[in-house]
Amino acid sequence: MAVSKTHRKKHHSYISVPSQIINSITQSSLDSLLISPKKNHSSSSKSKLRLSHLKNPKIFTFLIFMFGFLWVLKMWFNFDPIIPFVHNPCAQSQENAAISTGFARSQMNVDEKFEFWKQPDGLGYRPCLDVSESYRTESVQIVKDRTKYLLVVVSGGMNQQRNQIVDAVVIARILGAVLVVPILQVNVIWGDESEFSDIFDLDNFKNVLENDIRIVSSLPSTHVMTRPVEEKRTPLHVSPQWIRSRYLKRLRRDGVLLLRGLDSRLSKDLPSDLQKLRCKVAFHALRFAPHISELGNKISERMRSKGPYLSLHLRMEKDVWVRTGCLPGLSPDYDKMINKERESRPELLTSRSNMTYHERKLAGLCPLNALEVVRLLKALGAPKSTRIYWAGGIPFGGKEALLPLTKEFPHFYNKEDLALLNELEPFANKASIMAAIDYIVSEKSDVFMASHGGNMGHAIQGHRSYAGHKKTIIPNKRQMLLYFMDSSLQESDFSKIIRDLHRDSLGQPELRTTKVGRDVTKYPIPECMCNNTITDTSVL
């Protein structure tokens, strides 16, 4: 349930003068406008000369004829000598009307453009990570302990690894164990062999968490020869009590515990202190390595050099269409390719295999394709001049899949477009580092939207909330797709409906307590953020 309120603000109109006009006015011409000309003898002579010309019968007759001719044109064609001829004289009255209301329309367009970049009201919420006295007392003993060590192996893409590292820190805290720097499993899909310190700032990771748990780079010599207890069958969403009862006795006996596949193994509904720890890891400790942050910031600055920008996380890769049981809608041939892949490898379908593609689509379980993204953005007021940074892998269908977007929004870039020559070359085979660059540029954008949830979309949504509720468009796919398929709707009616559906889905403060089971790093209120009415506002 959103806790934001819609505020109506008065808009002030200003008359803008193009800089070209201002620059063309010299100081002398300004002076001539401001200072009345002095009468002198030469000007008097010129006046007498002009009067003598007017007394000439031929010139006088010619002037009468010209005024008469212009008056006839005015009456017959509604001719205005100031306005040039148009190809369609019948449209002249419409053009006059347009000119008379031109300022109002241009001002309306300015307001509409401004509205798209307008940020939500954060309602005074800000980071708040002050823990209880009992947590601080327990921390003293936990940080001193040197007998229990937790080893974790995290897998998946960079954002999936981030989630598992957050859980690893919390599990180490629950067990009172020393955390060995997490091992990143080689990604079998991308072949990325990056280690923790290749992606994240290891010193920052240790320093930020030094009062919560102890972190070491490797096992000490006293435990190197110890055979760790390996656990492979941790159920989903286990509680702290389950973790202690399952692992603590064996960990004290053997000294080392090895955990794999931590994805969603730890419950999302934890005690308040542990929720704050999750936020502390996600938003403070897991900072990207300096060389990645530097490049990500440079690309973000290049996007912002010409004004605000929108970041789109497009989930249009082939494996996404296969796993979600959805179709890209590019052509029958492309749809057949996806269906064939899914039939040959049914294990790739993530869930709800009994649903048809149409049922999945209406349930909001499918990624938006490029055309649907365009219609949504236009309905929400994105101007054609919007600069868009798109994050994500190569879409299935290549450039053809992106045509609706590039045609409607020509200022369309990704990191390859913005990077200088050889700037990305060191990371050519490092998918995790490439994803980290996308993360940085997306998190810093003025507006962010993901075409289909996922780990990155959820992580950035939470990060932007924690950073002050920067505008984040959350597509209401379940409710809006029926209107997308209604061809009888006028575009103006369609836009109004879409705006109404998303009025409370633009990144406003949203309570996690109304969404039980959701991750606090996606919805950091109320555990990790306080508003001005609460005095507990300590961060670290």
pLDDT in tens, 303-358: 999 999 999 999 999 989 999 999 998 999 999 999 999 888 887 777 666 788 88
pLDDT above 50: residue 47: no
Please tell me the distance from the alpha carbon of residue 92 to that of residue 153, in angstroms, as a whole number.
73
Please state the pTM of the whole predicted model.
0.78
Give the residue among 134, 149, 140, 381 at the shortest CA–CA distance from 273.
134
Which long-range CB contacts under 8 A does 51-58 form with residues at least 24 apart?
none
Average pLDDT of the residues of the chain: 82
What percent of the chain stands above pLDDT 90? Answer: 63
Helix (H, G, I), strand (E, B) or coil at 152: strand
Which residue is it, tokens 């989903």? 236
**Half-sphere exposure of residue 210: CA atoms within 13 angstroms, side-chain side:** 6
DSSP 18: -
Q: What is the model's pLDDT at position 86? A: 32
pLDDT band with cut points at 50, 70 and 90 for residue 540: very low
- Tokens standing for 1? 């349930």
pLDDT above 80: residue 4: no
Please tell me the distance from the alpha carbon of residue 496 to that of residue 473, in angstroms, as a whole number.
16
DSSP 348: G
- The residue among 248 and 67 whose pLDDT is bigger is 248
Helical H runs in 345-390? 357-362, 370-379
Please tell me the distance from the alpha carbon of residue 326 to that of residue 360, in angstroms, as a whole number.
7
Q: Which of 229-233, 422-426, 448-452, 498-502 has the lowest mean pLDDT?
A: 229-233
pLDDT above 50: residue 68: yes
Please tell me the distance from the alpha carbon of residue 354 to that of residue 379, in angstroms, as a whole number.
33
Dihedral sign computed on CA atoms, order 447, 451, 455, 456: negative
The average pLDDT across 483-501 equals 95
| Buried/exposed code over 99-109 (b: 16+ C-beta within 10 A; e: otherwise) | eeeeeeeebee
Q: What is the model's pLDDT at position 26? A: 37
Sheet bearing 447-450, strands edge to edge: 412-413, 387-391, 309-313, 447-450, 472-473
- Write the CB contacts of 225 (distance below 8 Å, at least 6 apart in sequence): none
**DSSP E strand stretches across 298-419:** 309-313, 387-391, 412-413
pLDDT above 80: residue 52: no
Please tell me the distance from the alpha carbon of residue 42 to that of residue 187, in angstroms, as a whole number.
90
Q: Rg (Cα) of the chain, in Å, rounded?
A: 32
pLDDT above 90: residue 80: no
Q: What is the pLDDT of residues 275-314, one digit of tens each?
A: 999 999 999 999 999 999 999 999 999 999 999 999 999 9
pLDDT above 50: residue 18: no
DSSP 281: I
pLDDT band with cut points at 50, 70 and 90 for residue 226: confident
Give the residue among 278, 297, 291, 313 at the shortest CA–CA distance from 200.
291
Stated length of the chain: 540
